[in-house]
Structure 1
Amino acid sequence: MISIAICDDDKDVIAQIKKCISEYSVSHSVEFDVHSFSCGEKLLETDMNYDLIFLDIEMSGIDGLKTAQMIRQIDRRSRIVYVTNHSEFALRSYSVHPFDFVVKPFKDERIGNVLDELIRYLSENSEKDVVIQLKGEDGPLLLALKNIYVFEYTGNRRITVYTKSETHRIRGSLSDIFALINSESFVSPHKSFIINMEHIDKLNNFTLYTTNGLEVPIAQKKLKDFQNEFSRFIKHYIRQE
């Protein structure tokens, strides 16, 4: 069962998306559990356990961009699809890693395209979350790769690993880490750091900030390469019609 939330202050838009999902369910033999909300406040009151969220940007009260930022503080998993009258909002939303954009007015087939992408994504990522084994100071350390925010090399073959709320000390070099993780989500903006781009919240000059408040410097000589890598990463998430 795939769980979907629709948050829009236009009842007609909610009805249209629901109709598209229902027709898709019948034609593709996929079960959906659909919930609808008229504002961001109502959506944020729920447990936020959705596979996909259709989110209107321009709503009274908390707008869609702010709602998405608040969602990301408690839920990194849900895929957010912005529903908007203005495609330029895409440039303001990289930090929440949107799954797609739907520009109003839209045809029913556009929602079908989003659902196709969702099914494909869930199928490709249905395997058990990747867990890596690191050389902890007190023995082997197992961590889910998606939960790692930053690796910081502190010298003498010692690395600090930062997750959302914990830190761990391991042995090795950053080149050892890159050889182990095999993930395009990680990049090295500085000789002493590797950061998971999934958890970047914002950029400010030569400093990156993660969603849990960590600060990571960008070396001047690595700035262009990092910008290219991050742009590639963002384009993977922002797929416009």
Structure 2
Amino acid sequence: MINIAICDDDKEIIDKIKDCISEYSTEHSVEYDVHSFRGGEKLLETKLSFDLIFLDIEMGEIDGLKTAQLFREIDKKARIVYVTNHSEYALRSYAVHPFDFVVKPFEKERIFSVLGELSRYLTENAEKEAVIQLKGEEGPLLLSLKNIYAFEYTGNRRITVYTKSEKYRIKGSLSDIFALVDSENFVSPHKSFIVNMEHIDKLNNFTLYTTNGIEVPVAQKKLKEFHNEFSRFIKNYIRQG
């Protein structure tokens, strides 16, 4: 599932982009989840993350460039496509690292081109193994994300990283870790843990077990949220697999 946001104060433009996405989805058998927002402030209020955002530059209270700057503080991974009446905005927009630029009025082929490029980009990056650099106690530590089973905060800005058969000690906080990992795969069922949902084996009352036997507590107040996150992960995993 590819998540897309359309942020524009013109409903006709939103509907036109939606129609283009729907047609492209049918022709290329690609599944999209599309959300629309009638202003930058509405987009900034959402807690959702997106693979792509069609973002109008000329909007009311908060224009598209300011919206992009603020949204980058929430979600650094979303690819932004600016939509505008004026091509001269293109140069200004590059300060916020756009994925593409669409000038109004546009034909469906222009939106098709953006969606095609997005599919290629996501496919190419999915084929690359994601690696993160952590602050190991003896120096920089490079680990493959898919091989990490869990992170455990042990106090005094120290974290234990569990892989299938190894443990590593690193420096930092769990909020530092969440800024590095993919929130689609990792969840925090307890204030002291982050777990890779790919490696969850089972849940028994308020304890979950990874496939290599790590026991992770699930806080009672986080149980419902954890169930929702894990259900979403399983549904996406089934769709992709």
1:74 is matched with 74
> How is 1:125-136 mapped onto 2 (pairs within 5 angstroms)?
125-127=125-127, 129-131=129-131, 136=136
Cα–Cα, structure 1 residues 60 and 28, in superposed 2: closer, same or farther, change >3 Å? same
State the SS of the aligned residue for 1:4: strand
The Cα of 1:73 is off from its aligned counterpart by 1.1
Is 1:113 the counterpart of 2:113? The answer is: yes
The Cα of 1:94 is off from its aligned counterpart by 2.1
CA displacement, residues 35-69 of structure 1 (integer Å, 9 cap, x when unaligned):
00100011111124100000000001100000000
State the SS of the aligned residue for 2:88: helix
1:40 is matched with 40
Counterpart of 1:4 in structure 2: which amino acid?
I
State the SS of the aligned residue for 1:87: coil
Counterpart of 1:24 in structure 2: which amino acid?
Y
Cα–Cα, structure 1 residues 135 and 114, in superposed 2: closer, same or farther, change >3 Å? closer
Is 1:29 the counterpart of 2:20? The answer is: no
Is 1:51 the counterpart of 2:51? The answer is: yes
1:194 is matched with none
Q: Is the 8 A contact 1:48 1:75 kept in 2?
A: no
State the SS of the aligned residue for 1:126: helix
Q: Is the 8 A contact 1:5 1:52 kept in 2?
A: yes
1:94 is matched with 94
CA displacement, residues 68-108 of structure 1 (integer Å, 9 cap, x when unaligned):
00011111100000000111112112232100000000011
Gaps of 5+ in 1: 146-161, 167-241
CA distance in 1, matches of 2:140, 2:45: 39
Greater RCO, 1 or 2 (C-alpha within 8 Å, sep 6+):
1
Cα–Cα, structure 1 residues 136 and 58, in superposed 2: closer, same or farther, change >3 Å? same
State the SS of the aligned residue for 1:125: helix
Extract structure 1 runs of 4+ deviating beyond 4 A: 132-137
The Cα of 1:144 is off from its aligned counterpart by 7.3
The Cα of 1:128 is off from its aligned counterpart by 5.6
Q: Is the 8 A contact 1:41 1:62 kept in 2?
A: yes
Counterpart of 2:32 in structure 1: which amino acid?
F
Cα–Cα, structure 1 residues 110 and 127, in superposed 2: closer, same or farther, change >3 Å? same
CA distance in 2, matches of 1:144, 1:66: 34
Cα–Cα, structure 1 residues 93 and 47, in superposed 2: closer, same or farther, change >3 Å? same
Cα–Cα, structure 1 residues 133 and 64, in superposed 2: closer, same or farther, change >3 Å? closer
TM (norm. structure 2) is: 0.57
CA RMSD of the aligned region, Å?
3.0
Counterpart of 1:63 in structure 2: which amino acid?
D
Is 1:7 the counterpart of 2:7? The answer is: yes
Cα–Cα, structure 1 residues 69 and 127, in superposed 2: closer, same or farther, change >3 Å? same
The Cα of 1:130 is off from its aligned counterpart by 3.1
CA distance in 2, matches of 1:132, 1:53: 25
Aligned residues, how many?
152
Counterpart of 1:90 in structure 2: which amino acid?
A
State the SS of the aligned residue for 2:126: coil
Counterpart of 1:64 in structure 2: which amino acid?
G
